[in-house]
Amino acid sequence: MKVCFIILAHHQPAIFHKLIKQLSWENSDIIVHIDKRTDLKEFRLPDQNNIHFIRKRNKVVWGGWSLTSTICECLEYALEVSDADYFMYLAGTDFPIKHRQFINKFLTENYPANFLNFYPLVPGIWGYQLIKFYRLKDLKARFIDERYGKQKQHKLTINIFLAGVVSKIELLLNKYQLPRKKDWISFYSGSSRWCLNRNSVQFLVDYFNSRSSRKLKNYLRLATNSDEIFFQTAILNSEFKQYCVSFDESEAREIFNHRKEPMADEKRVYLHYIDWNPERENPAILDESDLSTLENSGKFFACKFTAEKSLGLIQLLEKRLSGQSV
């Protein structure tokens, strides 16, 4: 079973290098996109045949359409250079908590299942706001770099003014509730982390590049967190939904008809551990105190790790993954 890892990174190079070391399996490929605003030198790696850096680097806006389109471009390139059976999307601040042999064995035994976290986006369900309201993240980011917490240095004053204009437009669109027709497709959302079989990824790339996806893409360009919507919506409105573990057509239909709460166990196909404890960061930055929880989670990867707080935990995980006692 061959796995191709798709990794998008923009900071934390120390964590990125440790992640790459763990993913450099004998039978794996790695596709890497480094944000255009990031110094590429910090992410350089020794030449390896199975590691491919995307030459076309984009400015990726967190929560914006630019993130979704960049992932799709990476998938298209991955299909060209890799003959992998599975494609797994990761962030550069993720780290494995299961040994590579365990992950490979699990995927081999469950092929061609898709591991895609999902829930229907309907009124009354958390997440419905993602498609209900207008969000102009990519446009605003042209003037204010929200992710890095700083304005662009040139023409600072006019940039702040123009970003304010975009925010006003956004507020007016939502204040007067300009209708956003949503009944032409069944919307789904879920985690941005997933593991999909090759045929499903080929479908996603073909769909993304086709005229038939134009309406969905235009809609999500004016939404937020499209990377948590596009892939779920595309797959679960296609024949490839049959490969999604735990997808139940009748149960989903009941939810869309507003007669039931969201699927109680919609996270059961989630291969990632992420701590959304509101008393910690959003999401929590993991440290040594999380080791026992990670070991008992049953998950394959975890998020989020930083060099400032997580190196001690990563060292413990590295010993565990190498077979040494902790």
Among 3.40.50, 2.40.50, 3.90.550, 1.10.1060, what is the CATH number of 3-121+187-321? 3.90.550
Residues with pLDDT less than 50, the chain: 147-149, 151, 325-326
What's residue 149's pLDDT?
Answer: 47
Question: What span, in angstroms and rounded, lies between the C-alpha atoms of 163 and 191?
Answer: 29
The identity of residue 199, as a single letter, is N
250: tokens are 């009748």
Could you say which DSSP state residue 224 is in?
S
Q: How far apart are CA 244 and CA 233, in angstroms?
A: 12
Alpha helices in the chain (DSSP H): 13-23, 65-81, 100-110, 129-132, 137-141, 156-175, 198-208, 214-221, 230-236, 249-256, 291-295, 311-321
Q: Which residue from 86, 39, 31 is spatially nearest to 197, judged by alpha carbons?
A: 86
DSSP state of 296: T
Identify whether the C-beta of residue 151 lies closer than 8 Å to the C-beta of residue 140: no
Over residues 87-146, the pLDDT tens digits come to 999 999 999 999 999 999 999 999 999 999 888 888 877 778 788 887 777 767 766 665
C-alpha closest to that of 35 among 67, 77, 72, 69? 67
> Hey, what are 11's tokens?
């900071």
What pLDDT shows up at residue 151? 47
Question: Where along the chain do its domains lie?
Answer: 3-121+187-321, 135-175
Res 177: pLDDT? 63
pLDDT of residue 291: 97
- Model pTM score: 0.88
pLDDT, tens digit (0-9, with 9 covering 90-100), for 72-85: 999 999 999 999 99
